[in-house]
Amino acid sequence: MKEQIKISKISENEYLVGNNITSLMNPNTILVEAVGDQTDELALALKKVCEQLAAPVTGKINYLIDLNRCGKNSKKARATWIEMNSQERTSFVALYGLHPVAKVLATFIMGASGKKNFRFFNRREEALVWLTQMNGTINND
């Protein structure tokens, strides 16, 4: 039986997806605060919400991913993250708060997309600085 994922709109640019909070932080950066295990259904629901948030955005999208409270990722969830990172509209992905052992697995997952557009950080502030610097190096048209 498929798990039902509850999606609640918190504000115009913020959603609660299961226990995860997803929001459009600025004109082209989506924040995902991952909480708990990421199941097949949850990953697909998060992808859907990210696509909704990205729809009105002109140009490419950056992702800021908070992994401080993230649990295990199912195989299909990992495949969903690879797919999202591989999308033409995805510009840069900054992940932060990841346990060093899990970082190795996440590096493999993100690397499977074939893109070199992501980086890991210990703190949110570092991730935001990098995204800001990288955003200045691309044309967001």
Q: Give the CATH number, domain containing residue 81.
A: 3.30.750.24
Residue 39 lies in a domain: yes
* Domain containing residue 86: 7-135
Amino acid at position 61, single letter = I
Q: How many domains does the chain have?
A: 1
Residue 34 lies in a domain: yes
How far apart are the C-alpha atoms of 50 and 123, rounded to whole Å? 22
Amino acid at position 62, single letter = N
- Judged against a pLDDT cut of 50, whether residue 96 lies above it is answered with yes
Phi, psi of 39 (to 5 degrees): -85, 175
- Judged against a pLDDT cut of 70, whether residue 125 lies above it is answered with yes
Which band of pLDDT confidence, cut at 50, 70 and 90, is reported for residue 44? very high
Asked whether the whole model's pTM tops 0.85, one would answer yes
- What integer pLDDT is reported at residue 2 of this predicted model? 74
Residue 2 lies in a domain: no
Residue 66 lies in a domain: yes
Residue 74 lies in a domain: yes
- What integer pLDDT is reported at residue 117 of this predicted model? 87
Residue 51 lies in a domain: yes
- What integer pLDDT is reported at residue 1 of this predicted model? 59
Residue 62 lies in a domain: yes
The answer to whether the CB of 30 falls within 8 A of the CB of 61 is yes
Residue with tokens 């997803």, as numbered in its chain:
22
139: tokens are 């044309």
Which band of pLDDT confidence, cut at 50, 70 and 90, is reported for residue 49? very high
12: tokens are 């115009």
Residue 32 lies in a domain: yes
- Judged against a pLDDT cut of 80, whether residue 59 lies above it is answered with yes
The answer to whether the CB of 8 falls within 8 A of the CB of 49 is no
- Judged against a pLDDT cut of 60, whether residue 11 lies above it is answered with yes
